[in-house]
Amino acid sequence: MLIGAASLNTEAAYAKVPGITSQIISASQFAVKLAYTQAYRTVYLTALGFAVLAMGSALLCSSTDPSKKTFDKAVRLENERTKSVSNDAKEGESLQA
């Protein structure tokens, strides 16, 4: 019953616990605060680790040459359909490069 009251953390919930004293309520509230603090610390340290990994990865990536930053396609896919260049090619037939 004490765990349920601690999760709600209200005076009414603590009043329903038989034989509870103000010292037990204070200790329970402190334990809840400590548990939250430790949980948030774990989450923060985990996120910090991923952030450091992401920044390190970004620093190790090479930059792209600005002259290559265009909207031109670098590669044509094998199954990519192209417009027919001549009347001999059937409509929708892919052209071999």
Q: Could you give the maximum distance between any two Cα atoms of the chain, in Å?
A: 95
How much is the average pLDDT of 75-85? 70
Domain boundaries, the chain: 2-61
Tens digits of per-residue pLDDT, 26-48?
A: 999 999 999 999 999 999 999 99
- Round to whole Å and give the CA distance between 41 and 47: 10
- pLDDT classification of 97: cutoffs 50, 70, 90: very low
In the predicted structure, residue 19 carries a pLDDT above the cut 60: yes
What average pLDDT does the segment 2-14 reach? 87
pLDDT of residue 61 exceeding 80: yes
Q: Sign of the C-alpha dihedral, residues 25, 29, 30, 32?
A: positive
